A and B are shown apart, each in its own frame.
Chain A
Amino acid sequence: MNGPVVFVIDDDPSVRASLKFLISTVGLEVETFDSAENFLRREPPETASCLVLDVRLRGLSGFDLQRQLAARTFTIPIIFITGHGDIPMSVHAMKAGAVEFLAKPFRDQDLLDAIHIALERDRTWREEERKVKELEARFQSLTRREQEVITMVVSGMLNKQIAGRLGTAENTVKVHRSRAMEKMQAQSVADLVKMTEKLKARLQKAS
């Protein structure tokens, strides 16, 4: 299964079935769940995916699930659907990062457009994620000394200063530095700075 998946969570069987049918007409894979709890039991998906989520559910509500997913750093774009939405509710959902908030019944095109945007957003996230993971792997492949050196480089220190700090010769620093740049596949210091920014953002997010 490599194509994108749309997860539908609604406690009403006919709504669930009709959503599955509608979404499948544009060739997308659909998995349905009758509760947020059952969705959480599923393994996080490997491919691009999004969530079509009813606000009012038995057990955990749609908003509860949104919060729990955020707490688990399980990023998946969410499209809310509701039978009794009001403006404060939709503002709340959008602020928490929802892609769209649709009042039932909605136009098919509105839902499919939202799904399209959500999947696109998830693909971008996944691509970013893949890049960051690769950077991380490259960073991990550096020796302890190489990691130290490039950390000092991106903080703006000159080779001479680094050599002074580490108590080695400037030439040795130059060697560490060029090996590290090579392993990180960085073309320039500017490039390296961008890479470490990404890594830092990830570290901050994880902590």
Chain B
Amino acid sequence: MLVKKYPARRRTDLRWRIAFENSAIGVTMADFTGRFFAANSAFLNILGYTESEVYQLTFMDITYEEDREINLGLIQELMEGKRQHFELEKRYCRKGGGLVWVRTNVALVPGMGGTASFWFAIVEDITPRKEAEEALQVAQAELARMSRLTTMGELAASIAHEVNQPLTAITNNSSACLRLLADNCLSPDLLRRVLEEIVADSTRAGRVIARIRSFLKKGPTEKNKLDVNELILEVLGLADRELSRNEVLLECELTKTLPKVLGDRVQLQQVLLNLIINGIEAMTTVTTRPRILCVQSRTSERGNVMVAVCDSGTGLGQDADRLFDPFFTTKANGMGMGLSISRSLIEGHGGRLWATPHSPHGAVFYFELPAESLRAS
């Protein structure tokens, strides 16, 4: 065998060399500036570069932009002697584009004798695991969203029942009084007693509404930094089928340099979806002009984020000022809670929601959310 031809020391070197070359895990070395000078084929496979190409690069060159800062921080700690080595899960940019998730284990090998100190890294491709994790996260987020939407639905059903009971009693009592009055049979005593009951039932209905309001205000408001444009595109994705089913033309005018807002992704999605669906439904009877739904985002004069959802539908009519009242609806199957809940949600975010007529046809619904930067100051 080959090995026999070499002296012991060289045999060990050769074994290391063979192990290095054949390792299933990427192994690489870089000089103090970060430039690679040794890389095994597993490492080259992860990146898609040839050996000579890789030697033109430093590890910072191939590290994904968002992961560089944390990577540099750890390198700094190694150089300052705060650590012996570090482990980091990060993304590399592959040759020709595309990202790959890797777990790196990096050590600084001190210089000895004539050799300069160098970086030694073991690199494992963990993309499949990361993809599974991401899929899981997406699934969990979707589950959370669904369960909260369900809670909303259940909330709506229980509101309907709880408000209906006192309402029924009020209607019955008032109708009975009107009947007796018509027959001249209503004594002041009886009237007083019934009116007292009506007041009690109205108060009860009011308490239900107050409870919903406080529920929505407290709400599950996990506040995250959100990109409203991203949110709009996500919701338009959800509404895509409704848009095409109703032959609605979508116009999207998003301002790119939009400040971030601090908010609950699901709640804001619900508001947007609600406005978009309302817009679509307002246009179902329109046949003589194009059905256009326009979604805009822009920065308001005060530096806040403003979103407008504009339709070419039947407009607000005479009921404009009642739109946001709970249980007010113009739809046959409507609960009349959508806009009322939406307004509460936006107000819960420190913003406001309002509507104006759109000329010549339709309506515009706006909401304004405080920019995250303004809020912090």
Contacts and interface: CB of A to CB of B under 8 A. Distances in A.
A15 B165 contact: yes
Interface stretch (A16-24, A134-142, A195-203): A16-24
Residue in A25, A26, A108 with the greatest tally of chain B CB atoms within 10 Å = A25
B161 A105 contact: no
B168 A105 contact: yes
A105 B160 contact: no
A22 to B, nearest CB: 4
A26 B172 CA distance: 13
Given A14-B201, A25-B179, A108 B168 contact: no
A104 B164 contact: yes
Contacts of B160: 83-84
Interface string B169-205: 1111101100110000000000000100100110010
B3 interface: no
B176 A17 contact: no
B161 A22 contact: no
B157 interface: yes
Contacts of A19: 172
B178 to A, nearest CB: 8
A86 B110 CA distance: 78
Contact of B169 (A15, A25, A26, A106): A15
A32 to B, nearest CB: 12
A55 to B, nearest CB: 11
B197 A18 contact: yes
A14 B169 contact: yes
Contacts of A25: 176, 179-180
A106 B171 CA distance: 8
A83 B169 CA distance: 12
A83 B168 contact: yes
A12 interface: yes
Interface in A74-93: 81, 83-84
Contacts of B179: 22, 25-26, 108
Contact size class for A?
Answer: 20 to 34
A25 B173 CA distance: 10
Contacts of B165: 12, 14-15, 83, 104
A22 B167 contact: no
A56 B162 CA distance: 12
A104 B163 CA distance: 10
A83 B176 contact: no
B169 A12 contact: yes
Nearest to A111: B172
A21 B157 contact: no
Contacts of A81: 168
A26 B175 CA distance: 12
B167 A14 contact: no
B164 A83 contact: yes
A15 B180 contact: no
A81 to B, nearest CB: 8
Contacts of A84: 157, 160-161, 164
A106 B165 CA distance: 11
Interface of B: 157, 160-161, 164-173, 175-176, 179-180, 194, 197, 200-201, 204
Given A18-B172, A84-B161, 17 more contacts: A12-B169, A14-B204, A15-B165, A15-B172, A17-B169, A18-B168, A18-B169, A18-B171, A19-B172, A21-B176, A22-B176, A81-B168, A83-B165, A104-B164, A105-B168, A108-B171, A108-B175
**5 nearest A-B residue pairs (beta carbon):** A108-B175, A18-B172, A83-B164, A14-B169, A105-B171
11 contacts: A14-B166, A14-B169, A18-B171, A18-B172, A18-B197, A22-B175, A25-B179, A84-B160, A104-B164, A104-B168, A108-B171
